[in-house]
Structure 1
Amino acid sequence: MATHWTLGCDATLPHRLAAFWAAALGYVAEPGYDDPDGASIIDPNGRGPAIGWLRVPEPKSAKNRLHIDIRVAGEGPWDLVERERLIRARVPQLVDLGATVVREESDDGALGHVVMLDPEGNEFCVA
């Protein structure tokens, strides 16, 4: 059996990031977690890891060493046309939630993924 784990993150505004990532991933606020300087979200189906944020005083200052990839196309093998359609449909939804598009990356001429920033400037990809 796999070990349950939580991805712990720093944030300037932990509740803002928790709300963004809950909407982006289909997660919900962790019941019973009530901390003004922290926030936690969980997979409502209990399959994915919890993700938590703690308030820190310093802003983000460098590239992430770890980031989340949102895999809208699921696992391969992929129909490349459908995969690109799913990625292009998801990106504007994330922009509406507060994300920023950085760039598109192509693999052999097909859209591979889109690099984005969450509301605090943390990199993530939509693939």
Structure 2
Amino acid sequence: MQIVVTLDCVDTEAQAGFWLAALAPLEYRRGFDGPPYLSLVGPAPAPTLLLQQVPESKQVKNRMHLDLDFGTEDLDTEIERLQQLGAQRISREQSEHGFRWIVVADPEGNEFCVFVPPTSVVPQA
């Protein structure tokens, strides 16, 4: 079984540059590239991020989004790194049930969260 998350975008090359840099700590690389698709693949069992070129820009809030745990407790430093790559911070730090997160958007406005899980949560293999 494979999970592929598809992200509509106007400029697949620019978005690939952003997402490869953003996901660098998770070791993603370019995969299949056949317009209108460009895939970014990480080490198994990470899901593939499929960039799909569409003619229209993002209009409303995403119904599904990525939540990324970069393995750091320092959300502000991670958000600063992503902003230097072209991300925009959307929210202040939020927390619930021990999780802490900040909502950001990629250069085309697609929202995603950078989060820190509670220290009592053990990652599943």
Q: Normalised by the shorter chain, which TM-score bucket?
A: 0.7 to 0.9
Please name the residue that 1:38 is paired with: 37
- Unaligned segments of structure 1, at least 5 residues: 75-82
Residue of structure 2 equivalent to 1:80: none
Match in the other structure for 1:79: none
Residue of structure 2 equivalent to 1:78 = none
For 2:54, the equivalent position in structure 1 comes to 56
Q: Normalising to structure 1: TM-score of the pair?
A: 0.77
Report the equivalent of 1:15.
13
Which of 74, 87, 91 is residue 79 of structure 2 equivalent to?
91
CA RMSD of aligned residues (A): 2.0
Aligned residue pairs total 111
Q: Give the structure 1 partner of residue 91 of structure 2.
A: 103
Q: Cα–Cα, structure 1 residues 28 and 96, in superposed 2: closer, same or farther, change >3 Å?
A: same
% same residue: 32
Per the normalisation by structure 2, the TM-score is 0.78
Greater gyration radius: 1
Deviation at 1:111, TM superposition (A): 8.5
Question: Aligned AA for 1:89?
Answer: T
Which of structure 1's runs of 4+ aligned residues deviate more than 6 A?
A: none
Structure 2, unpaired ranges of 5+: 116-125
